[in-house]
Structure 1
Amino acid sequence: MRRNRNAKIVATLGPASTSRETIEALFHAG
């Protein structure tokens, strides 16, 4: 389930926020 959520977040961000740091920050933020 955790993996699905992460994938959903990445899909929502799209190429606009491909930066790994940004993704990690949002992931840690919740």
Structure 2
Amino acid sequence: MMPIQLILQKYQVSLLVIDINQEEVIKWTS
């Protein structure tokens, strides 16, 4: 069983990656 903190950490990292990807998309489409 995974500790909740590890899950939250992975969740935050994935959100950060999504954020960076969106910024890249915005840069390329503008």
TM-score (normalizing by structure 1): 0.47
Query: Using CA pairs below 8 Å that are at least 6 residues apart, which structure has the higher relative contact order?
Result: 1
